Amino acid sequence: MHLLRGAVRTYAWGSRTAIAEFTGRPSPTDHPEAELWFGAHPGDPAYLQTADGEVSLLDTLREDPEGQLGVAVCNRYGDRLPFLLKVLAADEPLSLQAHPSAEQAREGFEREERAGIPVAGPTRNYRDPNHKPEILIAISDFHALAGFQPAARSVELMRELAVGDLDPYINLLAGQADADGLRALFTTWITAPQPDLDVLVPAVIEGAIQYLKSGRKTFAAEAKTVLELGERYPGDAGVLASLLLNRLTLRPGEAIYLPAGNLHAYLHGVGIEVMANSDNVLRGGLTPKHVDVPELLRVLDFTPATDEVLRPRVVQDGMEATYLTPAAEFAVSVLAIDGEHLGHEVDAPARQDGPQILLCAEGSVLVHSKTASVTLERGAAAWVPADDGPIRLVAERPSKLFRATVGGALS
Ligand SMILES: [Zn+2]
């Protein structure tokens, strides 16, 4: 087991304070920090802090896959860590996006390979043949758009905005208030000529302003989102798409799971994200990056997403709360040490054969593995190789560790 130095990613939508404060560095930072990666992604691996200096986790896995990952994980994923854990801090909205299913990713990757589109090129959709399920667990209040909402609710929202230019679209959706109607309307907007959008989007923004001025509450969050998105992306169909999506506010500890085909955009907040190790993103707007509308439409799931789909069930087992998802690549839980456990060495519930990444979110925890001990302060992480578990924990004050492991049943 070693301390793990994560890789900071600076993107324009990041925060100059959140990640720095979480990891105890001076803030504000020179550049907005958007993500802190703990994993073995070839683009930006984390580094083990060893007695002989820093060693890339990626190199460590290549040198000793069975010791680090365990035989069962190696049998399934080779020398790759199948998940990536991130701290994500959004001060501004991220792009509207969806991720392909495993089958779509494999097919899309092969298709683009055959077409000779460079893997790192700006117009490449499928950079690897893998799907990318992801879960986000809020650390602060976290705001997001995720999944289509029931069509009837979008009809009601559009009616409340009282924008004459929306009438034909309200009629379209009211006339077919189901997944097919949502597909038809979303397709209409996302493929609309720019001059049409340049009329419709400002009209919707004006409707949202008037709605908020009137003091009405039912759709206040949705109206504010229209303003926020419209300010940064005037004339972008993504502003209209926000009228069709669930507008979620997660409290700290609450999570959303984003299966394949779920259209989503993170808006604001700090969270922990765990995902399958893939770069496959299909964007639908709210971004200066490549947007491939036909490909996005191929993968989108227009079935309204309910809370049961979006919000993972949490199962408590002693000190550990596990977020249940169907993802095979990862499992994520929170180990909370408080009350009677304080000041004592406690066994963390055992995990099946495989590696663990621990990230301290609160307090301070002394972690013992088979061969080593490290202290994790807030924002610090550790890598526990498969052959170095199980772990025991000691905390003097209430503390929380996120634990990411390989998911599914390993055998
Ligand atoms: Zn995503």
Is pLDDT at 42 greater than 90 in this prediction? no
Q: What does the pLDDT average to over 118-132?
A: 91
Decide: residue 311, CB within 10 A, 0-12 exposed, 13-18 middle, 19+ buried.
middle
Q: pLDDT higher for 165 or 120?
A: 165
Confidence (pLDDT) at 286: 87
Q: What does the pLDDT average to over 81-100?
A: 96
Confidence (pLDDT) at 340: 94
Distance of alpha carbon 91 from alpha carbon 228, whole angstroms: 11
- CA angle, corner 41, sides to 388 and 263, nearest 5? 115
DSSP 162: T
Distance of alpha carbon 201 from alpha carbon 213, whole angstroms: 18
Residues 6 or more apart from 143 whose CB is under 8 A from it? 221, 225, 247, 248, 249, 250, 266, 267, 268, 269
Q: What does the pLDDT average to over 11-17?
A: 94
Distance 403 CA to ligand 1 centre (A): 21
- Residues 20, 62: contact at Cβ < 8 Å? no
Residues 6 or more apart from 233 whose CB is under 8 A from it? 239, 285, 286
Confidence (pLDDT) at 246: 97
Work out the pLDDT band at 282, boundaries 50, 70, 90: very high
Annotated binding site: 97, 99, 134, 264
Is pLDDT at 30 greater than 70 in this prediction? yes
Write down the residue that tokens 């109607």 correspond to.
181
How far the first Cα of the chain sits from its last, in Å, is 23
Nearest of 146, 94, 149 to residue 269 by alpha carbon: 94
Structure tokens belonging to residue 384: 């526990």
* 216-254 confidence digits (pLDDT tens): 999 999 999 999 999 999 899 999 999 999 999 999 999
Distance of alpha carbon 129 from alpha carbon 125, whole angstroms: 11
Distance 19 CA to ligand 1 centre (A): 19
Confidence (pLDDT) at 309: 83
Q: What does the pLDDT average to over 326-336?
A: 96
Nearest of 305, 265, 373 to residue 150 by alpha carbon: 305
Q: pLDDT higher for 48 or 284?
A: 48
Annotated binding site for Zn(2+): 97, 99, 134, 264
Distance of alpha carbon 83 from alpha carbon 96, whole angstroms: 22
Confidence (pLDDT) at 408: 82
Q: How far is CA 271 from CA 62, 107, 171, 319, 331, in A?
A: 30, 32, 38, 21, 16
Distance 364 CA to ligand 1 centre (A): 31
Write down the residue that tokens 């879960």 correspond to.
135
What is the fold, at CATH topology level, of the domain defined by 148-245?
A: Phosphomannose Isomerase; domain 2 (1.10.441)
Q: How many residues does the chain have?
A: 411
Distance of alpha carbon 246 from alpha carbon 120, whole angstroms: 32
Residues 6 or more apart from 84 whose CB is under 8 A from it? 37, 38, 39, 40, 41, 274, 275, 276, 277
In the chain, how long is the greatest CA-to-CA distance? 69
Q: Quick check: bond before 259 cis, omega within 30? A: no
Query: How is the chain split into domains, by residue range?
Result: 2-145+250-310, 148-245, 316-405
Provide the Cα torsion 372, 377, 379, 384; round to 10°. Answer: 10
| Percentage of the chain lying above the pLDDT 70 cut | 100
Is pLDDT at 411 greater than 80 in this prediction? no
- Residues 143, 249: contact at Cβ < 8 Å? yes
Distance 190 CA to ligand 1 centre (A): 19
Distance 167 CA to ligand 1 centre (A): 31
Identical fold for domains 148-245 and 316-405, yes or no, is no
Look over the chain and give the mean of its residue pLDDT values, rounded to a whole number.
95
Q: pLDDT higher for 46 or 289?
A: 46
Work out the pLDDT band at 7, boundaries 50, 70, 90: very high
What is the fold, at CATH topology level, of the domain defined by 316-405?
A: Jelly Rolls (2.60.120)
What is the fold, at CATH topology level, of the domain defined by 2-145+250-310?
A: Jelly Rolls (2.60.120)
DSSP characters over 105-157: HHHHHHHHHHTT--TTSTT-S-SSS----EEEEESS-EEEEEEEPPHHHHHHH
Work out the pLDDT band at 287, boundaries 50, 70, 90: confident
Distance of alpha carbon 346 from alpha carbon 392, whole angstroms: 5
Q: What does the pLDDT average to over 158-175?
A: 97
